[in-house]
Amino acid sequence: MDEIGKRLHDNAEKCIKSYEVWQQDKKNQEARESLNESLHELRRATAALEIDMIREERLSGVTRPMPTPVHRSMRKQDDENFGNANDDIGNRGDDGNGNGGGGHENRGPRRSGGGHHRGGGRSGGQHRGGGPRESGNSE
């Protein structure tokens, strides 16, 4: 048995023994700490195995496609549904003017006002010019 196999085997045995001791007296703090430590060592051994597996894949030249993360695949589905007559949010298809009709022209992240000012934005109702903000009234 190689080093990783031996580590897995030994740590699994220790973990099982620690579990059995803890199972008999769950309020025993020493038993809990021992189980926690053996679980940690078992995780380390499995991580070493995963690293070894990846290393072997890379050395053998076998490449497998990486799966698309869920948050990306959902975005792709949303983009594919955008503008369809039967999309899941009830948007109509094309509005006749080639606009898609959904009102989702800008799909970028929303930002709250104030840009990157610190301290809560401008105070005193002033705009960038420094003076009072003019309203639309001609008073």
| Residue 29 or residue 108, greater confidence | 29
The count of other CB atoms within 10 Å of the CB of residue 38 is 20
Note the pLDDT of residue 11: 96
Closest to 78 in 3D by CA, of 98, 106, 107, 99: 107
| Residue 114 or residue 58, greater confidence | 58
Q: Is the pLDDT of residue 55 over 50?
A: yes
- Taking CB atoms within 8 Å and a gap of at least 24, the contacts of 63-71 are none
- Per-residue pLDDT tens digits for 86-106: 545 555 555 555 555 555 555
Note the pLDDT of residue 82: 65
Distance CA 22, CA 38 (A): 12
Distance CA 80, CA 84 (A): 8
pTM score of the predicted model: 0.45
